[in-house]
Amino acid sequence: MWNYKIKKVSVFSVFKFTLLYGIIIGAVLGLIGGLFGSIGDAKFFGMGIFGGLIFGIIYGIILSLFSALGTWLFNLISGIIDGIDVELIKKDE
């Protein structure tokens, strides 16, 4: 059993991860919403499939910006409160 502290997280690393993750999840959900919203006379906020894809990309960008801001704030605060304690247990192989 080891005890560690998380003192700093790379803002750019979190930004890249959440950008890709957000675009994939947002695009899939936006496409599904646009596809099912386009069936019949009802429109899902009138966006259609292309609008759903655009919504997904915008969602990914906004998610990554807020995640980067949260990571920056974590780094700022962890310098004041001495990080987050983490307990790790070695896995038996």
Do 33 and 59 touch, CB atoms closer than 8 A?
Answer: no
SS3 state at 12? helix
Q: SS in 3 state form for 34-53?
A: HHHHCCCCCCCCCCHHHHHH
Q: What is the pLDDT of residue 12?
A: 95
Mean pLDDT (the chain, rounded): 82
Confidence band, pLDDT 50/70/90 cuts, at residue 6:
confident
Q: pLDDT digits over 14-57, tens only?
A: 999 999 998 888 888 877 777 776 555 555 455 667 777 788 88
